[in-house]
Chain A
Amino acid sequence: QSVLTQPPSVSAAPGQKATISCSGSSSNIGNNYVSWYQQLPGTAPKLLIYDNNQRPSGIPDRFSASKSGTSATLGITGLQTGDEAEYYCGTWDSSLSAGVFGGGTKLTVL
């Protein structure tokens, strides 16, 4: 099992909003910064969000994220079919002294 818990799947209609949760503990999300990644089928992951809520250049503002306590949330507005992908959260775990990822959430836009 992953240290960070994500729902296996999320679905929403085109144009609507999807939210993906990531739950951890005080040794990881609770005290460290969270990042989010998008992995389109057959490709390498891509950074969407870093330092809890910062978007790298080139990432549209349809993607946003927040953190509260030991949980984090990724939001995607104006859903497009091209957003169908696997989404992962990541952070540092101070107890493990290691980077950790969530198990991934498959987003379906239907």
Chain B
Amino acid sequence: VHLVQSGAEVKKPGESLKISCKASGYSFSAYWIGWVRQKPGKGLEWMGIIYPGDSDTRYSPSFQGQVTISADKSSSTAYLQWSSLKASDTAMYYCARQEYGSGSSADYYFFYVDVWGKGTTVTVSS
């Protein structure tokens, strides 16, 4: 199982950007996949996930409306997109295959990242 991410990006504030993550070695449509942000010297921040099988998408409240997560089943590729970058978006972005689900009555949830990409560095600077 591999997640191969697109290369480093250097952008100016206000520009748009779409980074990618190509999955291989497993059935892309059958697993949740998403993104985790790590700012320089800081911890991990969960951004959101998508289930490629039906495009069901969940966002962290911190990132809702700030980014768009999408997936293309035909190419087994997940995407993270910004319409207008800010300097505060400067970070490493990890593509992450995630196991996620709930008990029959949604009385508990399981969640973990079992496969990580190597990361895409995004630098936003004027």
The residues of A with any CB-CB pair to B shorter than 8 Å are 2, 31-33, 35, 37, 39, 44-47, 50-51, 56, 86, 88, 90-92, 94, 96-104
Contact = CB atoms under 8 A, between A and B. Distances in A.
B94 A44 contact: yes
Which residue of B46, B94, B99 has the most chain A CB atoms within 10 A of its CB atom? Answer: B46
B26 interface: no
Contact of A90 (B60, B107, B111, B119): B111
A44 B2 CA distance: 13
A45 B44 contact: yes
Contacts of A99: 46, 49, 60, 98, 100, 111
Contact of B44 (A47, A51, A104): A104
A72 B57 CA distance: 28
**For chain B, what secondary structure do more than half of its interface residues adopt (helix, strand, loop), or is it mixed?**
strand
B58 A51 contact: no
A6 to B, nearest CB: 9
Interface in B78-126: 94, 98-100, 107-114, 116-119
Given A37-B113, A51-B112, 7 more contacts: A31-B107, A32-B109, A33-B108, A39-B44, A44-B119, A50-B112, A56-B114
B112 A90 contact: yes
B109 A35 contact: no
A33 B109 contact: yes
A51 B114 CA distance: 11
Contacts of B118: 44
A100 B46 contact: yes
Nearest to B107: A31
Contact of A44 (B46, B48, B49, B117): B117
B43 A101 contact: yes
Nearest to A30: B108
Contacts of A100: 46
Given A98-B60, A99-B60, A32 B44 contact: no
A96 B59 CA distance: 10
